[in-house]
Amino acid sequence: MSYTLFTADIHLHPDDLHPINQAFYQFLEFEAPKADALYILGDLFEMWVGDDIGLEAYATVIALFKKLTTKGTPVYLLYGNRDFLMRHAFWEATGIQHLKEPVTISLYDQSLLLLHGDVLCTDDKAFQRMRKILRNPIIMRLFLRLPKKKRLQVGDSMRRSSQQHTQHKSETIMDVNTKAIEHLMVKHPRCDHLIHGHTHRPAHHPFVVQNKQKHRWVLGDWRPETQILKISSSGTLELIEPKLI
Ligand SMILES: [Mn+2]
């Protein structure tokens, strides 16, 4: 039976020998080619501060993606809160197709709604304020014009402050907001399944909106055991741990 795979939050490290990178490379080489398609719902990279830096730093995975897409497995990706500065050279080098969130897709007769998930964390006001600034097209353009060294410095300091930020916040503040989910589902009434990552709390949450049964699937990260979503052509959805050789 054919199937499609969904993953998120791999947070690839620039060091090829990092165990997460190794696990993901194995997955791309041996598991992903068996699927009809692969969807990556954000935060594939720990940090992406420009195609000129990233394509070099992540050369191994870029080549693996190119091989996968060239051999005929479509790969789709939407931005995460860590990696939203991939531009033309990235799509070109990998053959990955860019999706803009929130995106609805139709798969094996099911209507799915996909997003990274950070926009649903509306209780974290400081995070949302920062997000708005960072995703401003003018700010992004100015940032990408900075010299390489400067971009790496800014990226590093943002990573550090994000780590501190998450250490001191309560679990509830950093989780998704129920109202935000309801609002989103009302806006997309045909979708029965919402799939996202970001919180690193893999789970299946059935819920009801306007008397209709809905499902929220949260993807896991890759630390250490991962949870990805498999949707079979028969219509079943399940969170699975990919076999890594
Ligand atoms: Mn994230």
Give the model confidence (pLDDT) of 129-182 as tens digits.
Answer: 999 999 999 999 999 999 999 999 999 998 888 777 777 777 777 889 999 999
**Is residue 159 part of an annotated ligand binding site?**
no
Domain 3-240 in CATH 3.60.21.10? The answer is yes
Paired strand residues for 238: 230
Q: Give the three-class secondary structure for 226.
A: coil
**Is residue 43 part of an annotated ligand binding site?**
yes
Paired strand residues for 230: 5, 238
Q: What's the 219 CA to ligand 1 centre distance in angstroms?
A: 11
Q: What's the 46 CA to ligand 1 centre distance in angstroms?
A: 9
**Is residue 168 part of an annotated ligand binding site?**
no
**Is residue 88 part of an annotated ligand binding site?**
no
Predicted local distance difference test score (pLDDT) of residue 173: 76
Q: In what order do the strands lie in the sheet with 103-107?
A: 103-107, 110-114, 193-196, 212-218, 203-209
Q: What's the 174 CA to ligand 1 centre distance in angstroms?
A: 11
Closest CA to 198 of 73, 84, 66, 64: 84
Q: What's the 115 CA to ligand 1 centre distance in angstroms?
A: 10
**Is residue 123 part of an annotated ligand binding site?**
no
Structure tokens at 156: 């590093």
Looking at this protein, which amino acid is placed at residue 191? C
**Is residue 215 part of an annotated ligand binding site?**
no
Predicted local distance difference test score (pLDDT) of residue 244: 60
How many Å separate Cα 62 from the centre of its chain? 16
**Is residue 198 part of an annotated ligand binding site?**
yes
**Is residue 9 part of an annotated ligand binding site?**
yes
Q: What's the 172 CA to ligand 1 centre distance in angstroms?
A: 16
Q: What's the 116 CA to ligand 1 centre distance in angstroms?
A: 7
Mean pLDDT by 10 residues, the chain (245 residues): 95 92 95 97 96 97 98 98 96 98 95 96 92 95 96 91 76 86 95 95 94 95 86 94 69
Tell me the Cα Rg of the chain: 18
